[in-house]
Structure 1
């Protein structure tokens, strides 16, 4: 088995992004409220579009705020890979045995992300931070693995994290 890998948490970027996500959430709510004010007789659908897009923007902002918050204030390492298993402390404090973990590098439209699935019964005990669970539901819509191993706060790219994971367990196809 390879030497253990410990990836330190580097919170500066996450702390800098927190106000951005908070502002995005607020702007989404402002758009939704503006759409509500436009509702009425003779409305041509623009109000409904404004409400829906505002709520989507706000929901994404809430999730991204949660993800950034967790990375911004996390004490200790972000990711640990040992012979026993994998732990991403931004997802959960639980160690995931290698036998229960499958992963792959996914192109998500803008860039690449390392995404993982956790088999039962470990999945049931994983818990997971609420923002990661919300992002997991979104990932499932696109038939990707449930959880995302964030690059935020690691100082590593998705490709670099994938290369480290591949030392312990090959990617699933």
Structure 2
């Protein structure tokens, strides 16, 4: 017996608010970097370099997170659809990902719980994952976590609740 399709609507309100926060972080990061550049000179003892580095890190993180929030904030309709054919998370990709290619689990990622997953080839290469998710995926892989995140932002449900819905179609990996 096949499970009934699961459709999770996009709820963009929090993403819109967070978008403002991440854009402010980009601005603060640029101010730090500009301040460091102004201080940079022959008598500088390393503080300017730290300001520049901090500013660039804040700016990069803000750009990625603003990109993710922007995608969620402007999405109309369903955010996630789960059917017997696969998973479609329109905040991640416009392509349906077959269950056989997904290895997922609910895990604590250092800040909170998240549904994270890897995709097997050739699905991974053909999935056309959006750039913010690919950037976050690089960071996840550095931490030896599954590459992609099934974001709870814009769904109104927790990672554990999302995992329960995923289990209707595919078992979690260990």
Q: Which TM-score band (shorter chain)?
A: over 0.9
Residue 88, structure 1, aligned to residue 77, structure 2: no
Query: Which residue matches 1:98?
Result: 99
Question: 1: distance between equivalents of 2:146 and 2:109?
Answer: 12
TM-score (norm: length of structure 2): 0.96
Question: 1: distance between equivalents of 2:14 and 2:76?
Answer: 15
The residue correspondences of 1:2-81 to structure 2 (distance < 5 A) are 2-81=3-82
In structure 2, the residue corresponding to 1:167 is in which secondary structure? Answer: coil
User: What are the ranges of 5 or more consecutive residues in structure 1 without an aligned counterpart?
Assistant: none
Which aligned runs of 4 or more in structure 1 are off by greater than 3 angstroms? none
Cα deviation, residue 42, structure 1: 2.2
Cα deviation, residue 92, structure 1: 0.3
Q: Compute the RMSD of aligned alpha carbons.
A: 0.9
Question: 2: distance between equivalents of 1:149 and 1:65?
Answer: 17
How far does the alpha carbon of each residue in 1:95-122 deviate from its partner, in whole angstroms, 9 at most, with x for none?
0111011111121111111111111111
User: What are the ranges of 5 or more consecutive residues in structure 2 without an aligned counterpart?
Assistant: none
Matched length: 173
Question: 2: distance between equivalents of 1:86 and 1:150?
Answer: 13
Question: 1: distance between equivalents of 2:146 and 2:89?
Answer: 15
